Structure 1
Amino acid sequence: MSQKEKRKYQVGRFWLDREESSSKWYIYWYDERKRKTRRKTTSTTDHERAKDAIDEHYYASRGPVRAQAYEADIRKILANYWLEHGRGIPAAPVINTTITSFTKFIDQEEDAGRIAGLTMLSDITPRFIRRFITWRLSHTTKVRKDKAGNITRILVIKKKSSPNTVQTYIKYIRAAINWAYKNGDILYCPHIPGISKYELNGPRTAFISIQMMADALTYARDKKMDYLFKFILGCIGTIARPEAVLDIHVGHQMDWSQDFLNLNPPGRRLTSKRRPVIAVPDLLKAWLREENGHFIQLQGKPVKSIKKGWRTMREELDWPKLIVSKTIRHSIAKTLRTNSDFKKKYDLIIDPWELSGHMGHQAPGSLGITEGYAQYIPDGGSTVIKGLNAYFKELEEIVAFNLHPSCTQVPQRVPEDVQIKGH
């Protein structure tokens, strides 16, 4: 029997047929990803009703906007975005995780029969994205690789994720589709809904007091964990994000002629998470003068991640789990801005524009235009630097040792949980 004789009725890539063991009609199609023929029952033995069912299935699979130019493979869109752009920017690890997670969800949707054949751009509807958001809030993916570094398996694990994390994934899904549109690969961008501001995490409530910061420095010193001690000092003195502090290479980023520190390493592309050039408080300058290479290192190699060491310290100090390494940045900014007792003690008035510029924040609305003319320039005599000098002075009154490097440095213990670049 020829294929034409076998296919009693066909619409697009779908056709009707029956199994020998059943009198009901089935919708068949060839799945290019699985490389096999798949089927879906029409739940009827009547041929005319079956034809209506396959028509409905065909039009449902194509969605509301249907021109051939719109039928782009979403996997190819994601792959092109990664190869042409994503892998070359600082956010590459997050983009890679986003693509892996979204692709795995697409696989599951196809396997469940909610998408017929390969998932196309027209299948990426608001309903589809909302299903992804719901799934990602309660699941994550884990990649298995062989010795050569090739992916062998992607596992789905039940694990809650914060709404802000999932919102970041949506951001890069949008970016991939916009990239395809700007490069002429597609003719339209579908609406990609995100998580509403009411569902996102509210204002950051985790806070590290000056006493807690002193406890953290004492812990790192007592445990002979110099890398953690210097990391905390670096986060306080720069009010920078943890990644920026871990990246600091003194010889490449410190301008000793002006005592300015460029938080963006040479060759690193600037992103929306701006890393400004900043002035440095006195105590941190003393520590930076002790090292010409990477500021945070262990056994001569830069430390890649502080997360495990931080969690261990947090547990031993009995801190809430909401307190992460980035909380240092938020806590210093909050102390300088709102701690009236601290500011009265040291006669401080912190200029909000100087604090914003030091932290790399971009002015919103009409202030952004002003910022284009009056860019932030670091100043060693700024109110922020005066505030940081006072903060370190307050810490020295609390801890039982001198914070200066000549008095504080101790031999380092090699912990099991620290990650080192190159290992």
Structure 2
Amino acid sequence: MEILAKLTEIVGGIMVRQRRAQSPSQQAIGQDPAIPDARAQGIMTLKMPAAVGWADGHLPTAAPGLKVNAFATGLDHPRWIEVLPNGDVLVAESKEQAGPPKTLFDHAAQSVMRRVKAIGDSANRITLWRDADGDGQAESRHVFLSDQRQPFGMALVGDTFYVGNTDGIVAFPYTVNATQLQGQGRRLVEFKPHGHWTRSLIVSPDRSRIYAGVGSLTNIGDQGMEVEEGRAAIWELDLTNGDARVFASGLRNSVGMAWEPSTETLWTVVNERDGLGDETPPDYLTSVQEGGFYGWPYCYWGKTVDDRVPQDPELVARAITPDYALGGHTASLGLCWMPEGTLPGFPDGMVIGQHGSWNRSILSGYKLIFVPFEQGRPSGPPRDILTGFLSDDEKKAYGRPVGVAIGPDGKSLLMADDVGDVIWRVSAA
């Protein structure tokens, strides 16, 4: 089967070369993006740079007026960051653990992902990093929690710490300044594992609810919609009574979430479907309406029907158009609100960690970007904060951005890099 997988990769490489000539000259970005017509691919594009990491002295490129340094190093596939009120920085170290491949393309995709360290044995832990002297580099590391099932999202409410494992939300007692959690934890909500496995968490402004992103199992409901029940959604957990429900749906893979503070509106970044072209459809940033349906798998960017999928006209009629396109297959994962004054020259807005594409002929993403906001809405084109994660010839990935958070000092950004195995810190130059 490995021989067949290798053959599929070779054929996929030929497809990449053929499709580069058809790739759009501009990305589908902004509130009114130019989205090319769908081109069903048959054999899906498969292209991934080799994961090489950072040589000594090699750093990402910071935007003018900014600088970058390593806050923490020597991690094992760091994915998500949570900064506690006392300044401790928690990092979820976890990795996709792929199930048995069902198709020839699955074999090829998993073979490529293993070579770039995107899937494999998962550390399944959360580590705590402490920068006691405030110099922007952590001096101490502790195993905060271990033996989890692909931990990702984290949240602290009062004296309870919540973990978003791939199979559900677990709660642990927490004591201020603790460097390790005790006990097995209480399971509050169960989620279906596998597929899009990350489970990000965010607490409501009034601290009474937790929201969790739960991605789809498949690309476009390929195994039927019964196995997708409760997936491709954002869930809401009421902390007062323990009730859990789907808050919004039709979100293929909603990962990072953030609150826009002037309106207290929930926003998320969503990874859209594959197999329709380099820019079709774009990943997106959107506000999230209670009870809202965002199209997956039946349609995209509003009511553009995906004719590969058996249709549900009533759901298509309800589909909400996202607020802001982020380009095709950028794999926008990390998201946090950044207030004006955090970094010099940047107004209010959202910071987005773009993990980078693996299935388009010209790679996209692989950078940390900023989208400005005014009056609670996106207000202009995106700006780069960190670049340089990808070699010019697209053959090497030095790093891949994932989770982002405001640093403990309120004057910096922290970003997880799961290829470089480092937490980067961005601050004023």
TM-score range, shorter chain: under 0.3
Q: TM-score, normalised by structure 1?
A: 0.23
- In proportion to residue count, which structure has more strand? 2
Q: Which has the larger radius of gyration?
A: 1
Q: TM-score, normalised by structure 2?
A: 0.23
- In proportion to residue count, which structure has more helix? 1
